[in-house]
Structure 1
Amino acid sequence: MPLDHTKNMLETLKYYSDCQITQTFTRNQSQILVVRYIKETHSFEVTYTGTLIKRTYHSIDSAAAAIEQAIGNH
């Protein structure tokens, strides 16, 4: 997925922060990660479904980079 699309998706999550939307990324019908925006902390929470490790990113750029790395390296 192009980095611009990932950033656009993150902007959408942030814009609709009152709706508690999550975005799931899959590869070969296997979940890789789940992303949500946390309004209270103004951050993105990325949960890596294989390990259940959660990482928090405070900017769209850092969250997008982490997502792209996970998708490319899975």
Structure 2
Amino acid sequence: MPLDHTKNMLRTLEYYSDSQITQTFSKGYKQFLSVCYQKSSKSFEVTYVETLVKEKFPDVESAATAIEKALNN
């Protein structure tokens, strides 16, 4: 997915923060990571599905970069 699309999706999650939307990304046919916006901490939470490791990012740019990096590894 192009970086601009990822950023747009993250902005949408932030805009609809009251809806508690979670976006899941797959590699091949396997779920790889999910991301949601945490309104209380004003951050994006990325969860790696296999390990359940969670990382928080304060803004769209850093979250999008981390997601793209993870998907391209």
TM-score by length of 2: 0.97
Residue 30 of structure 1 corresponds to which residue in structure 2? 30
Where 1:51 maps in the other structure, the secondary structure is coil
Give 1:28 deviation, angstroms.
1.2
TM-score by length of 1: 0.96
Are 1:41 and 2:41 matched, yes or no?
yes
Task: Output the CA distance in 2 between the equivalents of 1:68 and 1:28.
Answer: 15
RMSD: 0.5
Letter in 1 for 2:30: S
Give 1:17 deviation, angstroms.
0.2
Where 1:63 maps in the other structure, the secondary structure is helix
Structure 1: which 5+ residue stretches go unaligned?
none
Residue 59 of structure 1 corresponds to which residue in structure 2? 59
Task: Output the CA distance in 1 between the equivalents of 2:40 and 2:15.
Answer: 13
Task: Output the CA distance in 2 between the equivalents of 1:64 and 1:12.
Answer: 13
Where 1:46 maps in the other structure, the secondary structure is strand
| Length, aligned pairs only | 73
- Identity across the alignment (%): 60
Moved runs in structure 1, 4+ residues, more than 2 A? none
Letter in 2 for 1:25: F
